[in-house]
C-alpha cells in the first residue's frame, strides 16, 4: 500500500511538473483602445515563440473589469488555438502605479527622518542625565571658590540650554514630519482603495507540430471607461460662419494605465441588444389610486446666474490654447456608427480624471437670428441656425459659447430633433434692448350681466443699438381656455402669428441699426362672474 501511494504521488508530481513547464507567461503591450460612451475595447499585440506540442500561454496583469464574453484571441502562424479562458486572479494584485510608488518613497524617507530625530533626542537625553548627575556629585563632594563655582554653573547652564533647545527643535520637527506622514498615508489609502484589485488573466491553449514564431492579438471590452462629447462654439460676428470645436472627454478607471496608445472614439453602443423588441399584450383595468403620504418639498438650490471671474478667465485661456493646430483625426462613417481615429498616441492613467482631445474642427454656414421673450426675460438671445447639420456627425453635449472673441456662457447642443435645421443658442446680446409694459389705460375689469370680462394690453418695445441690421423673432402669448365657460379673444396682435392651440404669438422682425419698434398686444377673457380665473 505504501508503495502504491508513493507511485501515485510521483505520477501527480510529474503531471504538475509537466503542466508547469508547458505554461508560458507572455507580455503583450496595449496597441489600440476604442472608447465607447461607457466602456472601451482594448487591443494587445505580441510576438511569441511556440514550441512543438501543446502549450498554455498566459497573459496577466490585465484589468479585473473585463467582460468575459468579449474576449477574442487571434493567431497568425502555423499553429492552432485550442481554447481561450479568462479569469480574475485574487491571489495576485495589479502592480502599483508610479504615483503610489512615488508616495511610498516619500513616506519611507519621512519615516527614516523621524527615526533619526528620535535617535538624536535619545542621545541628547543621555547627555542631559549625565550633566545632572555630575552636577550633584560636584556640588556635594568638591569645595569651590566663588569664581570656580560660577564657572561650573555657567558651563552647566550653557550645556543644558543647548540640549533643551535642541530637543525642543527636534520634537517640533518630528511633529511636522508626522503631519506629512499622515497626509501621505491618507493619499496612499485613497489610491489603494481603487487600485488594490485582482489581476485579470487570459489563458490561451495552443498546439503546433513544430516550433514557430508567430503573432498573437488579444481584444476585450472593459468597464469603468468611456467618453462624452463637448463643444467650443465660436462666432466672430454674425457675418461669418460658425466654428465648432468638437472635443472628446475620455476617462478610465479600469485598473491598468493606457500608455502611449492609439485612441479611437466611437458612438456605438455594443452593450445594447441587437434583437428586435417584442410587443406583448397590453392589459388595462380600472385604476384605483393608492393613498400616499405627502412630504414637505425641499427648497431648491439656485444656480449661479453668471460664471465666476476665475471661470471666465479659465475659458479665455482655453480659447487661446485651442488656436493651435488640431490633432490629426480620421473620421470613419459606417452604416450605424461613427468612429474618430486619433493619429497621435495618448496616455490615459487609471485615475478616473477627464482628458480632453479635440477630434474635429468644423465650419458651418449659419443664419443668425435673435429671439426674445419679454414676458420671461428682458434679454435678446442670438441663435445660429445650421442647415444640413446631420452631415456634421455631432452628438448631444455641453457647449461653451464664444461671441466676438469673448466667453458668453454655456449651453446645451441637442441633436435629438427631427428638423433639418439645428438651432444653437449663442447667449444674450446687451446691444438689443427689450421692454414689456402694461398699458394701464387699456387694462380693465367689467361685469356685464352674468359674466365678468377682463381686458389686458401690453406695449412691447425693441431697440437695436447695434451698428448693423438684425433679424429678431419676438415671442409672447395669450391664455388658452380649457373650459367652455371661459372665452379668450385676441383684440390686437399687431400682425403677429397666433397659434390657437398653444396661445403663442410670433413676430418676425427685421430692424435697421439704431431702430426702435413698438408692438401692441391686447386680449380679453370672459367668464362667469361667480367664478375665479387667475390671469396674473
- pLDDT computed for residue 124 by the predictor: 82
- State the residue for C-alpha cell 492609439: 262
The count of other CB atoms within 10 Å of the CB of residue 285 is 5
Beta strands in 160-315, from DSSP E residues, in sequence order: 198-208, 212-222, 225-235, 242-252, 258-266
Gap between the Cα atoms of 448 and 457, Å rounded: 20
Gap between the Cα atoms of 143 and 26, Å rounded: 84
Instruction: Look at 43-57, 229-243, 507-521 and tell me which has the smallest mean pLDDT.
Output: 229-243
- pLDDT computed for residue 193 by the predictor: 52
Which residues are paired to 498 by β-bridges? 505
**pLDDT score of 93 more than 70:** no
The mean per-residue pLDDT over the stretch 7-27 comes to 54
Sign of the C-alpha dihedral, residues 145, 146, 151, 155?
positive
Classify strands 29-36 and 497-498 as parallel, antiparallel or unpaired.
unpaired
Task: Convert the pLDDT of each residue in 427-455 to its tens digit.
Answer: 788 899 999 999 999 999 999 888 999 99
Q: Which of 29-33, 125-129, 366-370 has the highest mean pLDDT?
A: 29-33
Gap between the Cα atoms of 298 and 16, Å rounded: 66
DSSP SS3 for 183: helix
Structure letter (DSSP) for residue 442: G
**pLDDT band at 195, cuts 50/70/90?**
low
**pLDDT band at 304, cuts 50/70/90?**
very low
Sign of the C-alpha dihedral, residues 52, 55, 61, 63?
positive
**pLDDT score of 101 more than 70:** yes
- Among the residues of 45-145, which ranges form H helices? 98-141
- pLDDT computed for residue 414 by the predictor: 77
Task: Convert the pLDDT of each residue in 313-341 to its tens digit.
Answer: 333 334 444 456 667 888 887 767 888 99
- pLDDT computed for residue 318 by the predictor: 42
pTM (predicted TM-score): 0.61
Structure letter (DSSP) for residue 392: G
**pLDDT band at 274, cuts 50/70/90?**
low
Closest CA to 244 of 228, 232, 260, 229: 232
420 within 8 A of 386, measured Cβ to Cβ: no
The count of other CB atoms within 10 Å of the CB of residue 382 is 22
- pLDDT computed for residue 521 by the predictor: 95
**pLDDT score of 94 more than 60:** no
Amino acid at each position: 500500500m505504501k508503495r502504491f501511494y508513493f507511485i501515485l504521488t510521483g505520477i501527480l508530481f510529474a503531471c504538475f511538473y509537466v503542466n508547469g513547464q508547458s505554461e508560458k507567461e507572455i507580455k503583450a503591450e496595449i496597441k489600440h483602445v476604442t472608447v465607447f460612451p461607457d466602456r472601451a475595447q482594448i487591443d494587445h499585440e505580441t510576438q511569441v515563440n511556440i514550441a512543438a506540442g501543446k502549450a498554455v500561454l498566459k497573459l496577466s496583469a490585465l484589468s479585473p473589469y473585463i467582460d468575459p464574453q468579449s474576449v477574442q484571441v487571434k493567431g497568425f502562424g502555423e499553429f492552432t488555438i485550442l481554447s481561450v479562458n479568462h479569469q480574475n486572479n485574487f491571489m495576485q494584485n495589479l502592480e502599483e502605479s508610479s504615483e503610489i510608488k512615488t508616495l511610498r518613497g516619500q513616506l519611507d524617507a519621512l519615516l527614516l527622518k523621524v527615526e533619526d530625530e528620535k535617535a538624536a533626542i535619545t542621545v541628547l537625553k543621555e547627555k542631559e542625565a549625565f550633566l545632572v548627575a555630575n552636577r550633584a556629585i560636584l556640588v556635594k563632594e568638591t569645595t569651590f571658590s566663588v569664581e570656580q563655582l560660577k564657572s561650573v554653573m555657567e558651563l552647566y547652564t550653557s550645556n543644558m540650554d543647548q540640549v533643551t533647545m535642541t530637543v525642543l527643535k527636534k520634537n517640533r520637527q518630528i511633529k511636522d514630519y508626522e503631519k506629512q506622514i499622515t497626509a501621505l498615508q491618507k493619499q496612499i489609502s485613497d489610491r489603494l482603495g481603487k487600485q488594490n484589485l485582482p489581476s485579470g488573466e487570459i489563458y490561451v491553449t495552443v498546439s503546433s507540430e513544430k516550433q514557430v514564431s508567430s503573432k498573437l492579438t488579444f481584444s476585450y471590452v472593459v468597464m469603468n471607461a468611456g467618453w462624452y462629447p463637448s463643444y467650443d462654439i465660436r462666432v466672430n460676428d454674425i457675418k461669418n460662419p460658425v466654428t465648432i470645436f468638437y472635443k472628446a472627454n475620455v476617462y478610465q478607471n479600469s485598473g491598468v494605465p493606457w500608455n502611449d496608445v492609439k485612441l479611437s472614439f466611437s458612438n456605438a453602443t455594443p452593450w445594447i441588444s441587437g434583437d428586435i423588441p417584442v410587443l406583448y399584450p397590453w392589459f388595462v383595468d380600472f385604476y384605483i389610486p393608492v393613498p400616499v403620504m405627502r412630504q414637505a418639498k425641499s427648497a431648491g438650490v439656485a444656480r449661479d446666474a453668471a460664471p465666476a471671474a476665475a471661470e471666465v478667465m479659465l475659458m479665455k485661456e482655453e480659447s487661446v490654447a485651442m488656436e493651435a493646430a488640431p490633432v490629426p483625426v480620421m473620421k470613419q462613417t459606417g452604416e450605424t456608427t461613427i468612429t474618430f481615429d486619433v493619429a497621435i498616441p495618448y496616455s490615459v492613467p487609471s485615475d478616473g480624471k477627464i482628458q480632453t482631445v479635440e477630434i474635429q474642427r468644423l465650419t458651418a454656414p449659419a443664419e443668425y437670428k435673435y429671439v426674445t421673450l419679454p414676458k420671461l426675460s428682458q434679454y435678446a438671445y442670438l441663435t445660429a441656425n445650421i442647415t444640413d447639420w446631420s452631415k456634421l456627425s455631432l452628438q448631444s453635449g455641453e457647449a461653451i459659447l464664444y461671441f466676438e472673441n469673448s466667453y458668453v456662457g454655456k449651453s446645451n447642443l441637442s441633436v435629438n430633433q427631427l428638423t433639418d435645421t439645428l438651432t444653437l443658442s449663442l447667449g444674450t446680446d446687451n446691444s438689443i434692448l427689450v421692454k414689456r409694459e402694461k398699458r394701464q389705460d387699456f387694462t380693465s375689469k367689467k361685469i356685464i350681466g352674468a359674466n365678468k370680462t377682463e381686458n389686458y394690453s401690453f406695449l412691447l418695445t425693441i431697440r437695436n443699438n447695434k451698428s448693423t441690421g438684425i433679424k429678431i423673432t419676438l415671442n409672447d402669448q395669450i391664455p388658452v381656455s380649457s373650459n367652455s365657460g371661459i372665452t379668450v379673444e385676441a383684440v390686437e396682435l399687431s400682425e403677429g402669428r397666433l397659434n390657437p392651440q398653444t396661445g403663442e404669438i410670433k413676430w418676425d422682425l427685421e430692424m435697421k441699426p439704431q431702430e426702435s419698434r413698438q408692438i401692441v398686444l391686447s386680449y380679453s377673457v370672459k367668464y362667469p362672474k361667480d367664478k375665479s380665473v387667475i390671469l396674473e
